[in-house]
Structure 1
Amino acid sequence: MTKKRVVLLLMILIMGLCGCTGESSTDEMKVLTLWYWNRGLDDELIAAVEKQFPDVQINAQKIGGDFKSKLKTTMAAGSGGPDIVAFNDWVTEMFPNADRFYDLYELGAKDIEKDFLEWKWQFGVTPDGKMIALPIDTGPTGLYYRADLFKKAGLPSDPDEVTRTVRTWEDYFALGEKLQAALGEDVKLTDNIGSIYTQVNAQSDTIYFSKEDTFIGEDPSSSMKKAWDLAAKASQLGLLADANGNSSEWNAAMSNGKIASFVGAVWNKEVLQQAAPDTAGKWRVARAPGGDGNNGGSFLAIMKTSKHPKEAFEVMKWIQNAENQVQTFRNTNLFPSTISSLDDRAFLKKEEFFGGQATGEIFTESARNVKPAYFGPKYANINGIVNRQLQSVALQGKDPDEAWEDVLARVKKELLR
């Protein structure tokens, strides 16, 4: 046997022992980069991805600062983006750039659609039927209220009684007038005009646009005009503390009992507990006046720059299955978007901060009854215009009818841009 032949046989033997087939183990490993924000997903589940998918390496990056701006900048550059990216409730702003993301229906999303709340699923589907975003969590709403203040004012204070008493926003305002008459002007029914407007819209199946992206606000019977009129009425009745969310004024008002109630999403539980820890045991939650709504909740999408879309979808599908959504709720308080998750006993847990009430019962029922809605790509722009005019009504005494006309005029200019 020649020396050359011996060397050749040795090389073949070495390749066989190493399991080499012309492709190294490094080449077989699929590296998936994930962009999300702190507490946007369950870190324990992300860490478990590589055990669940041995051929996947997950490069999870928590993006701080203005997440949406970073994503838009990356999209404008045309390269360098992640495989998987989270969207917040601004998902419809991505619809004009739907071609920059994989249609998840083409990757098998139809097979799991039945597992998710229909209204939440539809938020990620473009008007022409492309599914670009898989649901993560939801933000069903309820009426947070101080049971001690309601009781002191001679009003119903049990959650079931409150739910029966305030079926409509008009009922809620009438209750507020009684409460303030009994407790004095230092206590206000609720926090601010923008909150009323937002939560009324959250209960509607249309917000600013039809699915054809036609602006609906000029119709006097539109949900937008209804929300405006109710918000303005609450201000004119003197029911508002004019304390905007995410402010020191709001935190202080919640702590010192200056605000007796507010309609908010399930994630407001954590916000409230951090803002007013000394009020533990005094709060309860009832069904929201006007019906069930949703405020917030996020999604996962796969960018077209990804070289491994099939693997990315399988990872997303696993992270967001019903069992893992319950784990995520337990670990990070993200409220589920899968239907069967809502039946878990985790939502029957009694909460000391809410006087031993299992508020999960309120929010699961709310989640089951939200109406599907379409926000449109220019939702944020229009919403900003409306809220600036609402602030002028509440804080500067501007006539609501005049402010409404200014809203419509500014919206028309915005839509021409």
Structure 2
Amino acid sequence: MAVSRRRLLALGAGAAAGGFGLAGCGSKRSLGDSDEITLWTWDRSVSDELVARAETKGIPGSEGFRLSRTNIGGHFNTKVRTALAGKSLVPDIIGINSDVATYFPNQDAFVDLNDFGAAELKSRYLDWKWNECVTPEGRMIAFPMDTGPTGLFYRADLLQEAGITTDPKELAARAPDWDGFIALGKELRKSRERAVICPNIHHVWSIRLGQLAGKFMTEDGRYIGDRDELREAFELAYRIGRDGLSAGAPEGSTDLYGVVTSGRQPVGIGAVWWGFAFPESAAPKTEGKWRVTDPPGGAGNVGGSFLAITKYSKNPEAAYKFITWLQSPENQVKAFTEMSLFPSSPRSFTRPQMREPRPFYGGQRTIEVFGPSARQVKTVYKSPYDRVMDPVFAAELANVESGKNVDTAWRDAQDTIERELTREGAI
């Protein structure tokens, strides 16, 4: 299966790219007053304290402009795409999640940050993260925010009860790969009958996918989502479920929290934000009992986000000054200490605040795990069509967890993807 780069970028109106048909006439009315730089984000995506500073004191380096932020709840992506399609009342700046590639076919909707000298800042940020912002045509349509480097989280007290080492380096050596991680889970079940190592098998798939050097398509449009490496990842998820090491908790359900708070999941591989979202927030009484170490299977990334300036911005220069200030290395440290948004700038990693012992993790300096993990993430091409393919694999993995034959599920996933890519005109 293949689609040319020219064809890929021409498919701006296609559903796979979430197109919004920017060609043609239409108003270019931006949102907000003439002295406002408007920003749309979702909850806990940026530092509230830093944003409030720009709202009350103005944008640093842009006298006469202040920020006006709106938190969009619920269907953020839909709201953004609807506004862009309407070409009216569009904010100056929008947040974009890890699906930034789905906006590539509509790159003309955004300011090319290279026009403002963004390339001069590249050395401050992780290469793989920076490259995710750049379209195949070389336009930089967004600026790096946080990342999601992964680690192995574990309850030291529960591992100790099971007679398993709690030393981070020793545990990492015991489970250097996924087979070792499965063996660790089976060992835990000897003392904790219902112990699991993941909330559901789709979680395993997502983590493993974040460790690989390729996803579903190559930059020249060749489909590679049927290769052996991905089939092995699909089988890995199945094996963990087959061995009873998955809780089978549906994505988005409260069961995801219950698995952690009950102690049923004493170990788990997750992005840095997972630690904040689950044990730290949902199980505060377990403070001091958690630790983190290197993840089985190598470094990986899950999640992370970006900021983009729309072409409707009333003052792109002021908007650029705001996003580069907000995402400066020192302010990324602030976002981490405020809400565990892990920096995309390695310059942040050495700051004293990043190296402070974390009480929730028994005084461990977690930067010593997540810093190297973030540096070692592979550069992976993400296609606009990932938006079509991701849900197909997720649906079939849910079917497998419900009892569907894994070989049948894999074949059905491939058939569905071929049909959907054909419908989108990609093949």
TM-score by length of 1: 0.88
Aligned to 2:195: 187
Q: Which runs of 5+ in 1 are unaligned?
A: 1-27
- Please state if 1:277 is matched with 2:276: no
**What SS does the aligned partner of 2:302 have?**
coil
Please state whether the residue corresponding to 1:163 is helix, strand or coil: helix
Measured after TM superposition, the shift of residue 331 of structure 1 is 2.2
CA offsets 1:217-260 (integer angstroms, 9 cap, x no match):
2222x3x2232121111112222121245422222221222112
SS at match of 1:60: strand
Q: Does 1:377 align with 2:384?
A: yes
Aligned to 1:86: 95
1:91 offset after TM fit, Å? 0.8
Cα pair 1:30 1:308 within 8 Å, conserved: no
Runs of 4+ displaced beyond 6 Å: none
Aligned 1:28-67 pairs, distance under 5 A: 30-49=35-54, 50=58, 52=60, 53-67=62-76
For the pair 1:250 / 2:259, whether they are aligned, the reply is: no
Partner residue in 2 for 1:20: none
Give, in angstroms, the shift of residue 203 of structure 1: 0.7
For residues 49-198 of structure 1, the aligned pairs below 5 Å read 49=54, 50=58, 52=60, 53-180=62-189, 182-198=190-206
Amino acid at match of 2:50: L
Task: Please name the residue that 2:357 is paired with.
Answer: 350
After TM superposition, the score normalised by the length of structure 2 is: 0.86
Structure 2's unaligned 5+ residue stretches are 1-32
Partner of 1:214: 222
Determine helix, strand or coil for the equivalent of 1:259.
coil
Aligned residues: 386
In the TM superposition, what is the alpha-carbon distance from 1:170 to its structure 2 partner?
1.1
Q: How many Å separate the matches in 2 of 1:125 and 1:29?
A: 30
Shift of the 283–308 alpha-carbon distance from structure 1 to 2, 3 Å rule, reads same
Tell me the alpha carbon deviations over residues 247-280 of structure 1, each in whole angstroms, 9 at most, x when there is no partner: 2222222122211211111111221222222322
- Distance in 2, matches of 1:155 and 1:368, equals 29
- Once residues 82 and 407 of structure 2 are traced to their aligned partners in structure 1, the CA distance between those partners, rounded to angstroms, is 39
In the alignment, the residues of structure 2 paired with residue 215 and residue 379 of structure 1 have an alpha-carbon distance, to the nearest angstrom, of 11
Q: CA RMSD in A?
A: 1.7
Structure 1 residues 234, 51: CA separation in 2 closer, same or farther (over 3 Å shift)? closer
Aligned-pair identity (%):
38
Q: Aligned match of 2:312 in 305, 309, 321?
A: 305
* Deviation sequence 1:185-227 (CA, Å, 0-9, x none): 322233210111000001112111111232202222x3x2232
Mark the CA change 1:51 to 1:82 in structure 2 (over 3 Å): closer, same or farther: closer
C-alpha distance in 1 between matches for 2:151 and 2:72: 30
Give the AA of the match of 1:406.
Answer: D
Distance of aligned partners of 1:246 and 1:356 in 2 relative to their CA distance in 1, 3 Å threshold: farther
Asked if 1:416 corresponds to 2:422, the answer is yes
- Segment of structure 1 superposing worse, 274-283 or 254-263: 274-283
Describe the SS at the equivalent of 1:299: strand
Partner residue of 2:3? none
Match of 1:333 among 314, 337, 340: 340
1:399 aligns with 2:413: no
Q: Determine if contact 2:34/2:314 at 8 Å carries over to the other structure.
A: no
Any conservation in 1 of the 2:41–2:94 contact (CA below 8 Å)?
Answer: yes
- Displacement of 1:29 in angstroms is 6.7
| SS of residue paired to 1:59 | strand
- CA distance in 2: counterparts of 1:192 and 1:349, whole angstroms: 33
The answer (yes or no) to whether the contact 1:190–1:260 under 8 Å persists in 2 is no
Deviation at 1:54, TM superposition (A): 1.8
Specify the structure having the higher radius of gyration (Cα). Answer: 1
2: CA distance between counterparts of 1:101 and 1:321? Answer: 21
Q: Secondary structure at the match of 1:140?
A: strand
- For residues 245 and 302 of structure 1, the distance between their equivalents in structure 2, rounded to whole angstroms, comes to 32
Describe the superposition over 1:261-312 as per-residue Cα deviations: whole angstroms up to 9, x where unpaired.
1111111122122222232222211111001111111111111111311221
Q: Which moved more, 1:282-291 or 1:269-278?
A: 269-278
User: Aligned partners of 2:328 and 2:238: how far apart in 1?
Assistant: 42
* Distance in 2 separating the partners of 1:55 and 1:200: 47
* Residue matched to 1:8: none
Residues 144-153 or 190-199, more deviating: 144-153
Once residues 353 and 245 of structure 1 are traced to their aligned partners in structure 2, the CA distance between those partners, rounded to angstroms, is 25
Counterpart code for 1:255: T
Post-superposition CA distance 1:347-388 (Å, at most 9, x none) = 222222222222222111111111111221121321111111
Structure 2 Cα separation of the partners of residues 400 and 329 of structure 1: 40
Whole-Å separation in 1 of the counterparts to 2:94 and 2:367: 29
CA contact (8 A) 2:151 2:293 kept: yes
Among 286, 292, 297, the alignment partner of 2:293 is 286
C-alpha distance in 1 between matches for 2:42 and 2:267 = 30
Say yes or no: does 1:266 pair with 2:272. yes
Provide the C-alpha distance between the structure 1 equivalents of 2:102 and 2:222, rounded to a whole number of angstroms. Answer: 15
What is the match of residue 213 of structure 2? 205
Q: Whose helix fraction is larger, Structure 1's or Structure 2's? A: 1
Matching residue's letter, 1:256: S
Distance 2:152 2:390 in 1: 23
Q: Does 1:314 align with 2:324?
A: no
Change (3 A) 1:97 1:153: same
